[in-house]
């Protein structure tokens, strides 16, 4: 059916097959990316939860990739440069910076998921266009043959309906995967929020320490 379809219908089918390949490629890459990010976030959360102060947390996460390590380093650096600053001011500045780290981590993980959303919403209509075009050609063939014999009409209609089928095959997985990744990214950001809470706890402990200057030297 594909070989005998109109060139427009063939182009539609080819584009939908390419969209399906892209969907599964993005899904595979994003799955591994999320698995690695969650593993690093859980490891970082464990180190933050077990640390006694920001300096210890920063040393434990030194050289490690991931957002949790960036949270500890950022908070320790801000504490080290806030000589004589008021407690509320330090916490506010650290909170702003940690919020941006979590937001940037979410944006990085969201890259590529927009393609899944586009394929899921557009592919059925592209397939429908191929179907409409194929059926139109079938009616033109009927007028030229001057007959309504089903043997003449059926092949063209079947080719046209195949385009809709391929469109659904491309769209349905894309929508399911997009929703799954959206939930996974939300769960990852919640995990990072736990790391933020642990970082702020360590910052509060350091700010309460009677010798903040010594802690700043350790953080540095």
Residue 183, domain member (yes or no)? yes
Residue 1, domain member (yes or no)? no
Sort 146 into a burial class: Cβ within 10 Å, 0-12 / 13-18 / 19+: exposed
Q: Give the per-residue pLDDT at 215.
A: 46
Q: Residue 64's domain spans which residues?
A: 7-219
Q: Give the per-residue pLDDT at 69.
A: 85
Residue 65, domain member (yes or no)? yes
Q: Which residues of the chain have pLDDT under 70?
A: 1-6, 83-85, 141-143, 145-156, 209-220
Q: Give the per-residue pLDDT at 217.
A: 45
Stated pTM of the model: 0.78
Residue 2, domain member (yes or no)? no
**What is the number of domains present in the chain?**
1
Residue 17, domain member (yes or no)? yes
What DSSP designation does 77 have?
H
Specify the length of the chain in residues.
Answer: 220
Q: Give the per-residue pLDDT at 145.
A: 64
Residue 115, domain member (yes or no)? yes
Give the Cα separation of 193 and 197 in Å (integer): 6
Q: Give the per-residue pLDDT at 10.
A: 79
Residue 124, domain member (yes or no)? yes
């Amino acid at each position: 059916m594909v070989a005998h379809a109109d060139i427009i219908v063939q182009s539609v089918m080819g584009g939908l097959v390419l969209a399906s390949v892209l969907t599964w490629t993005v899904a595979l890459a994003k799955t591994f990316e999320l698995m690695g990010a969650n593993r690093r976030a859980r490891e970082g959360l464990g180190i933050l939860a077990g640390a006694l102060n920001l300096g210890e947390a920063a040393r434990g996460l030194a050289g490690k990739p991931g957002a949790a390590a960036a949270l500890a380093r950022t908070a320790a650096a801000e504490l080290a440069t806030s000589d004589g600053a008021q407690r509320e001011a330090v916490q506010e500045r650290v909170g702003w910076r940690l919020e941006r780290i979590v937001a940037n981590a979410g944006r990085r993980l969201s890259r590529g998921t927009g393609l899944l959303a586009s394929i899921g919403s557009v592919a059925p209509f592209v397939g429908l266009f191929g179907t409409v075009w194929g059926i139109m050609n079938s009616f033109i063939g009927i007028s030229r043959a001057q007959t309504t014999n089903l043997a003449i009409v059926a092949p063209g209609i079947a080719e046209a309906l195949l385009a809709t089928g391929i469109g659904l095959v491309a769209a349905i997985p894309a929508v399911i995967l997009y929703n799954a990744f959206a939930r996974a990214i939300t769960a990852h950001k919640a995990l990072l929020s736990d790391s933020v809470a642990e970082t702020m706890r360590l910052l509060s402990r350091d700010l309460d320490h009677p010798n903040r200057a010594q802690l700043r030297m350790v953080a540095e």
